[in-house]
Structure 1
């Protein structure tokens, strides 16, 4: 009897523990909650940008295309820590079509502060940072690098 109860409750306990791993990532530039459940188990492309960064301006259309044309979750983070309405206005002015996190996930992902921009991180479905890409990236280059990482 005890073994039967253990077999029933062990999966329930595991699900409860895993649910804690999917805490929300704060809100985006539109004030919408970025749910941990929607990001859990997915590869992420996390890009740091700033309005004063020329290469960021060139790279953003590539990231927009990557977001539109693939099932990848592309997330942005404003390097200068803009929040609220300022973040929304800057994102719109930059033509960003992907979600921009209001809260920097650097602590959550154990990322160092990059001394240069743009910088993009490729994060696997388990939340592990697999690659740091420094400088301007293309959608094709990111797709190729992700394919290499996923094949390992």
Structure 2
């Protein structure tokens, strides 16, 4: 009986020690250098925009996203992800050609965020201030539609 209590106490101690271990912070490399995690962006609304060089609506949307990011530097972070998985110098050249002024992630966070793959562009994943996926937007966004996101009560 004493042995069973000791085993139970040991199991409880192990479980309590594991409870204090949170999940590991995932960091994503940035094209401009450095890295970012969604944990460090908590408190901000995060927009993760998927684009491709061949996507005409993306080319229309990018200036709107640039302007939106410039208007809200303290409470919004806009990030981009190349839909085609372009890397290296080609990625840098495409970002320059499209005039993307906000940070570009080198890895796609879609799996980590548990968001299903999309077959259309542009697409924008919206994270609320707690770092949770709030919504997924399809099609080109305008400055007006982006401003409406900030007015949403659950962000």
1:36–1:130 Cα change, 3 Å: closer
1:93 is aligned to 97
* Separation (CA, whole Å) in 2 of partners of 1:110 and 1:101: 17
Higher share of residues assigned helix: 1
> Runs (4+) of structure 1 moved beyond 3 Å?
20-23, 35-38
1:134–1:36 Cα change, 3 Å: closer
Query: Contact 1:55/1:135 (CA < 8 Å) preserved in 2?
Result: yes
Q: Shift in Å at residue 105 of structure 1?
A: 0.2
Q: Secondary structure at the match of 2:124?
A: strand
Query: Contact 2:39/2:131 (CA < 8 Å) preserved in 1?
Result: no
Is 1:122 aligned with 2:126? yes
2:33 is aligned to 31
Total equivalences in the alignment: 135
Decide which structure has the larger Cα Rg and report it.
2
Q: Which runs of 5+ in 2 are unaligned?
A: 1-16
C-alpha offsets along residues 25-77 of structure 1, whole Å, 9 cap, x if unaligned? Answer: x2112232224553234220111000000000000000001111103000110
CA RMSD between the two structures? 2.0
Q: Secondary structure at the match of 1:47?
A: strand
Q: Secondary structure at the match of 2:78?
A: strand
